[in-house]
Each structure stands twice: as structure tokens, then as C-alpha cells.
Chains A and B, each alone.
Chain A
Amino acid sequence: MAKIYYVDHTGETRIVDVENGATVMEGAIRNAIPGIEAECGGACACATCHVYVDEAWREKVGNPTPMEEDMLDFGYDVRPNSRLSCQIKVSDELDGLIVTTPERQA
């Protein structure tokens, strides 16, 4: 179990307990967090669960795989700390993770 902090583009924060093994995307969808659409259901086949990983967490969360990078090409305002939240698996290590959702999804 880890507490995940979802910050929307206006700065509003929503905190959710997400079980280990679930993805950051699933944590958002199950708790109706706005700003994450996940059109493809977590197959890394769209770019509608795009988030910015807080700088302090970038190393722990890691970088996108080449396939994820390809999908990020379809994202809006993609930055060096951009990830697709369906590709971030929650673990105790990520307790306290802060992600910000972009102004819009692709």
C-alpha cells in the first residue's frame, strides 16, 4: 500500500491509498481522480494517462521504456518527467509519490 498524491494542473491535490501491484493509472481510475482518462485500459496503446512525475521521485520511478516513449509522442506538452501512469507499478517504495496531471490528455 502506498499513498499517491495526484495534483491536477490547477494545483489541487487528491491523496489516495493504492495497493501494491496496481498501477498509478488504476489508482486514479478506481478513485475517480480527474485528469487521467486511460482510454486503452492500460495497454500502453494510447497516451491518455499522461502524468508528470515530481522531480524528487524521478529516480525511484525510473524512465519510460522505448515503447512508452513512442506512445508519449501522442501526448500533450510532454516534458522530461513525463510518464504514462499505466506503466508505473505501485510498491511500498513509492509511498508518498507525487504526480501532476497535464492540462489536457491527448
Chain B
Amino acid sequence: MQLHGNGRAPQEARRWLDGLWVIPAVRAFPRQRKRARCLKTLPEYPPISEDGEMSETIQTDVLIIGAGPCGLFAVFELGLLDMKVHLVDILDKIGGQCAELYPEKPIYDIPGIPMVTGHGLTESLMEQIKPFNPTFHLNEMVESIEKIGDPLFRVTTDAGQVFEAKVVVISAGGGSFQPKRPPVPGIEAYEGVSVFYAVRKMEHFRDKDLLIVGGGDSALDWTLNLHPIARRVTLLHRRDDFRAAPHSVEQMRALVASGKMDLKIGQVTELHGENGQLAGAMVKGTDNAVTRVDCNTMLPFFGLTMKLGPIANWGVSLENNLIPVETASFETNVPGIFAIGDINTYPGKLKLILSGFHEGALMAQKAHRYVYPDKRLVFQYTTSSSSLQKKLGVN
């Protein structure tokens, strides 16, 4: 298994990847950078393309967009039929919604598994697809798909990575995870000028009067990393209780105690400034009193939400933000591009993980025709086929 990411491999992946070839990249602040890379639509500074390294075009049988449970299981079904797979995911970790939205929540409707958590399911799927050695490209969002053959697709990510794939499988769930815009009236006017949802270069925050909003790891990590660079950092959270790692919270409290930064408890109600340049934020405290915090830059961290993103530009039909497919192979209106899992729609569709597994199995049968047009496909069972068992490494 190979893992391409613009940073460290996530802890979970690292464990799975023990003894396998992992391609690490070195970054100064890996955790924050990784999170920052998830943030695509709302502005970050400077624009992401600035240092997007160009790498060589990767040729692959199948490119899967989205490394959630359906994308992972598709690797298995494609692998049984000898198709090599690369996967791209916008998140910094494998597992999609299972990893981002409900890693610890129990799932009760996976056939044959009475109870498993989102994290547990991801881990099991990774174990199951290990024999097929897929390559993951995390923290990357597919920006464009261009048809260049019959079928052959050129797929480009926002990191500048180019793939040439005979088959593209969209298993993008609810779309791409993107930062939530905090519900502050008129905030759009400041975005990209003085309000940012991610940090790419800390240097851009030198000598700023910085207001960081939120109580999770992103907010706390950036508070700790930017306070030596900024002129003054104020951390604002709605309650004096933080979701972030306790150690970060302790460090922050120590800085506050020694007067090196400010902590305010409350919620932003209004922004003041001109031409996108922030001058201050009105903050309502727990006592309902409104005070002004002077600041010229704001970094709100309000978690991630799912947005359709660039899928709308890929040439596949859309119906209410879902991709209509036929139900023999889950192919879209573009031959060679398939859609499986929550992102697709057809009569009777149920957004269940088990449906996505089924869709992946049927998709692989049709994909085989594109990847091996001259080979006849003989249907086989893993229980009895020695050739399938060989591929799985059990025979």
C-alpha cells in the first residue's frame, strides 16, 4: 500500500501501513497543514495553487474519487478482477464520513457485523483490500475530469496531480468536506481579505491583531502556533470548555495566565470594517453584554460540512446534487464514469453503506470491459476459486 499525501500519514493509516511503502512528505506543522489542505472553497491564504508541485502523470486502470467505505470496498471488487486503483480524497484521512463524522458511533446495519464503529469499519475494509495495494492521495480534491480516449480520462487534482485512468469511479458521498462558514451576518465581505478559514503560510499573519474563533483542535493549534508571530492573539469561544486536546488547552491557559494572549468567552454577532478589511468584532458574552474586540484578521474554525464542490463541472448529469445512474452497472451518462454510494441516485435508492457495497460489485463487472476489452470475464466465488484466493494471498 502506498500513501501519497502532502504531509504525514494519519495515525490510523500508519498502523495499516506498517512494513509497507509509505511516501512521507515533511512539513513544519503537519496537523494544521493537513487540516488546512481540506479547506478548498472558502478562502485560504495564499491560494493553494501557488506551491502546488507538479508531478508526473500517473497511469492507472481505475481512479476512485472518495476514500469512504464504498470507495474502499470498490478496491476489493476491482482488485478481484485484476484492476489497479488509485484513490483521491479531500480529507487527510481514509474513511470518508465514517472517519470524519462518526468515527466512534456504532453502525448496526453492516451485513454479518452486528455492531461496528465508523473507525472500526474503515480499519476492517483497509485490512480487506490490503492484497490489492491501492495508492491513496489524501488532502487532494479532484478538480477536473477530461475525456481523452474511448474511454480514457485525464483527471487533475487541486494539488496539480494528473492521472490517466480508463475508468473513473465517483464515490464521493455527500461531496467534499469543506469548512463551515460561521453564521455571522456579512462575513462574506471579509473573506479572502481579512477573514480566512485556513492557514497556509504562518508568515502572512505576522504582526496581525488576530481573532481566532472556535474551541476545537484547529482553533487551539493555530492559537499556539501563531501567538509568537502575531502582534496579539485573542481566542474566542462560546463557552469556557474546549473540545481540543487537553494538553493544548493547558498551554493556551498558561499563555493567558502570563498575559501573552487573550481568551474571551462569547459569540461574534457582528463584524466591523471597510472594503473587506476587518477592524473589529462585536462579541456577545455569556452575560449578554456586547463588547468590541479590535482585530484586523479573523480565523474562524467551525468544523467541516459537505458541499458538492467541483463535481458539477465534470460532465456527468446531476439531479438534486446527486448523480443519476443505471442500475445494471451504476454507470453515469458518461460511459466509463461510474457513481456508487451516497452520491448516486436511481429509483429505490437507499443511502446505506451496504447498498454502496453492492453497487461497487456490479460496477467492477462493467469496468472490467473497459479495462480489458479483449478478456472474457468468468464469474467466480472467493469460496471456491483458487485464482481469486491467490489474489487475496490466502492460497
Contacts and interface: CB of A to CB of B under 8 A. Distances in A.
A73 B101 CA distance: 15
Mostly, the B contact residues are: loop
Contacts of B305: 39, 46
B215 A73 contact: yes
Interface size class of B (residues with CB under 8 A): 20 to 34
A45 B102 contact: yes
A75 B183 CA distance: 8
B238 A73 contact: yes
Contact of B180 (A72, A77, A106): A106
Interface string B205-233: 00000000011100000000000000000
Nearest to B243: A70
Contacts of B180: 74, 106
Interface in A29-81: 39-40, 43, 45-46, 69-70, 72-78
B96 to A, nearest CB: 13
A106 B102 contact: no
Contacts of B284: 77
A75 B239 CA distance: 12
B237 interface: yes
A73 B183 contact: no
B303 interface: yes
Interface residues of A, number: 17
A73 B216 contact: yes
A43 B101 contact: yes
B183 A106 contact: yes
B303 A74 contact: yes
B105 interface: yes
A77 B286 CA distance: 11
23 contacts: A43-B101, A43-B102, A46-B305, A69-B239, A69-B241, A72-B238, A73-B214, A73-B215, A73-B216, A73-B238, A73-B239, A74-B180, A74-B302, A75-B183, A76-B183, A77-B183, A77-B284, A78-B238, A78-B267, A104-B183, A105-B183, A106-B183, A106-B302
Interface of B: 101-102, 105, 180, 182-183, 214-216, 237-239, 241, 243, 267, 269, 284, 302-303, 305
Given A43-B102, A73-B239, 10 more contacts: A46-B305, A73-B214, A73-B215, A74-B302, A74-B303, A75-B183, A76-B183, A77-B284, A78-B238, A106-B183
